[in-house]
Structure formats: structure tokens, C-alpha cells
Amino acid sequence: MTLSELYTDIKDLLAAQFPDNKERGIVSRRIVGGLTGFDSNYCILHPEHRVEIDHTAVNNVIRRISDHEPLEYVFNSAQFLDIELYTNSNVLIPRPETEELVLKILDDLKMRQGQGGGAVPSSEGCPLSLLDIGTGSGCIPVSLSMKFPDCDYFAIDISDAALATARSNAERYSCNIHFIKADILNCQDNSELESLKVDIIVSNPPYVLESEKKLMQPNVLDYEPATALFVPDADPLKFYSAICHYAAGHLNDGGRLYFEINEQFGAQTARLMEDFGFVGVEVVKDLFGKDRFAIGAIPLKG
């Protein structure tokens, strides 16, 4: 069977589930890539390449897709910026909005590198340090470490399974990231976390309201970890408050805090950050025009 024939067969099998031809074509190419190991460009450029295909495996993938399971879990792989990450149902699937957040931090690191040259310096003259709170797959520190390997990276998560996934991604790309099991809502007894001082803290914490579940698709609601998604309607900023409290005491002077946020709570998140002493706080829209990021800094002394 050729790659072209495999693509056509899969596309036909998905006709009922994906009536839109363009979407069906995209999904079909991703399945072909997952089954064969060839990327989309290769499949397009070499349609007559012959492959040996296990039709049981094909049918298994189609069944799982029909049950709304995300392809990122079916093939344990997700694209994030220019790298491929190992993913499973213990971690959220990395999203384009988080890619935008990483790009904003990269701009910060590039600016600091331009000022200091060489390894990115902190306000103390040492290599810059960064903490990712609620790291999940590790997509944020892994992607940053690949661009700026001389920084010191730390990442925490409450889930052992998530930390194992993040470590796997760090090892895959030989990233030096120190992982810590910790609950940011109850971290006062974690001596390692309490002793940490860093220059950047970043977090994409749970921010979807419980009441928003009814608006969500089965591929998210039935498969992605609820603890990484949802917060009570009565306390939507519970994680932001805890992180601001921690960051105010553990960021170096001039250090910056980066949040991914619920679009409904941009102004409230900004006020919360200001209440904890952050300055220059701004709410930034994503590519879809929605309030998606909140960024602030600890004042410099003097």
C-alpha cells in the first residue's frame, strides 16, 4: 500500500465523523504520520512510497478517534512550537495559547541576553533562573531550555504521573530541569520550594470554571485531566492568588511573573497582582483577540 492509498482509505473511514473535507484531510494526514512515522511533508512529497500497514492498528486508531479520544493521546505525541512532546492522559495537551506565552518569555530572555551578552544574566549577575508552576508535560521549561540552555530551570507539579511525563520530555531533549513535587496551594512545608529564589515565574494553572464544562467538547471533557483544568465558580482565582503570594516572596528584584488566564478574568487578575505588589502589570490578548496573559514585575530596589 502506498502512502497516498493509506491516506485515501483513512479519509474515507472518517467521512461520517468529519464531514468537513479540509478538517478530515488534516486529521487523516496526522493519522498517516502517526502510523508510519513519516511527517506530513514527506507524505505529500512521496505519495507513492510503499508501506506495510497493520489494518488492525488502523481500525484501532479509527475506533479511538470515533470515541473522541485526542490524537495526541492516541499517538502519545503533540507538536509544541518546533518540538515534538510525549503526551498522555496524565497531562494537558499543549495548546497554541501556551506557545504564545513561551514566545513572550523568549522575547524577555533575548532582551536580557542582548543587554548582558552570553549567558542570560539575572539582576544578581548570575545565570537567569525560571520556575514553572504546574508544569504538566513540561512544555514550557523544555521549549525554553532548548533556546536558552544556560538558564537554571525549575518546575513543579502536584502529580507524580505528570512529573514523570515532564521528565521524559526533558530527557528526550537533554534539558537540565530540576523537577519538584509540590502543591502551590500548600507549599509552606516544602523546604526546597520555600528556599528557592528565581528571576521568572510562569504558570498556566487551572482556570476553566466548573460551570463551563457544559460548553466543552468530549475530547477535552472525557480525556484531559480535570484537576489541571477546572476551578470552582466561587473561587476562580484560587491558584492565581496562591501563586502571586508565593511569587511576591520568591522572585528576585525586577523578576517577572507570567500567567496564562481565563479571558473572563483579565482585569481581576491584574488587580490581584497589583495587590501583591507587582508593577507594570498588563493584560495581553492572544491571537484570537481574547485576554489571555497577565504579566507583571517585582519592583527594583532604589
In sequence order, the 6+-apart residues with CB closer than 8 A to the CB of 110 are: none
State the total domains in the chain. Answer: 2
16 and 134 inside one domain: no
Q: How far apart are CA 115 and CA 96, in angstroms?
A: 29
pLDDT mean over 145-173: 97
- pLDDT in the model for residue 243: 98
Report if residue 226 sits inside a domain: yes
- pLDDT in the model for residue 189: 83
- Host domain of residue 190: 88-297
pLDDT in tens, 204-222: 999 999 999 999 999 999 9
107 and 29 inside one domain: no
115 and 63 inside one domain: no
Specify whether the CB–CB gap between 170 and 144 falls below 8 A: no
- pLDDT in the model for residue 1: 87
Q: Is residue 175 scored above 90 in pLDDT? A: yes
The CATH number given to whatever domain includes residue 241 is 3.40.50.150
18 and 119 inside one domain: no
Strands 279-285 and 291-297: antiparallel
- pLDDT category of residue 125 using cuts at 50, 70 and 90: low
- pLDDT in the model for residue 105: 97
19 and 155 inside one domain: no
DSSP string, 97-147: HHHHHHHHHHHHHHHHHHHH-SSPB-TTSSBPEEEEES-TT-HHHHHHHHH
Report if residue 243 sits inside a domain: yes
C-alpha separations of 259 from 100, 143, 187, 207 in Å:
11, 17, 19, 11
pLDDT in tens, 187-201: 888 899 999 999 999
- pLDDT in the model for residue 91: 98
Report if residue 75 sits inside a domain: no
198 and 54 inside one domain: no
Q: What is the DSSP letter of 192?
A: H
DSSP string, 232-243: -TT-TTHHHHHH
Tell me the percentage of the chain whose pLDDT exceeds 70: 95
- With b meaning 16 or more CB within 10 Å and e meaning fewer, what string describes 135-167? bbbbbbbbbbbeebeebbbbbbbbbeebbebbb
216 and 262 inside one domain: yes
Residue located via cell numbers 465558580: 233
94 and 19 inside one domain: no
pLDDT in tens, 262-297: 999 999 999 999 999 999 999 999 999 999 999 999
Of 85, 60, 97, give the one whose Cα is nearest residue 143: 85
Between 28-32, 42-46, 89-93, 132-136, the lowest mean confidence (pLDDT) is in 42-46
154 and 97 inside one domain: yes
Q: How far apart are CA 151 and CA 145, in angstroms?
A: 7
220 and 100 inside one domain: yes
251 and 110 inside one domain: yes
145 and 229 inside one domain: yes
Q: How far apart are CA 145 and CA 56, in angstroms?
A: 39
Predicted TM-score (pTM) of the model is: 0.92
